[in-house]
């Protein structure tokens, strides 16, 4: 079983999730970031593909304290 990665735009913070793809942009769910066309760009800020950085998978969401225990 393959692990789907997420890639984050270093310019605006928009995240490309390989599992979700980007159907609005014609990218099928499950499309690998590396398989995106070279002229693909961030749908949010139009940054180039190379501006995206792989998101570390082991990041644990920070508890923001929105839900007091
Ligand atoms: Zn962006």
- Per-residue pLDDT at 2: 77
Q: How far is the CA of 69 from the centre of ligand 1 (A)?
A: 35
Q: How far is the CA of 14 from the centre of ligand 1 (A)?
A: 5
Range of the domain at 24: 11-54
Radius of gyration, CA atoms only, the chain: 14
Residue 17 within a domain: yes
The DSSP code for 27 is: B
Q: How far is CA 1 from CA 4, 12, 20, 54, in A?
A: 9, 31, 16, 19
Lowest mean pLDDT among 1-5, 15-19, 31-35: 1-5
Residue 56: pLDDT band with limits 50, 70, 90: confident
Residue 59 within a domain: no
Residue 31 within a domain: yes
Average pLDDT over residues 42-46: 97
pLDDT at 59 over 60: no
| Overall number of domains in the chain | 1
Whichever domain contains 49, its CATH number is 2.20.28.10
Mean pLDDT of the residues in the chain: 89
């Amino acid at each position: 079983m393959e692990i789907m990665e997420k890639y984050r735009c270093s310019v605006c913070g928009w995240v490309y999730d390989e599992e979700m793809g980007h159907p609005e942009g014609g990218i099928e769910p499950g499309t690998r970031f590396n398989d995106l066309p070279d002229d693909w760009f961030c749908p949010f800020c139009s940054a180039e593909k190379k501006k995206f950085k792989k998101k570390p998978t082991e990041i644990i969401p920070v508890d923001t304290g929105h839900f007091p225990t």
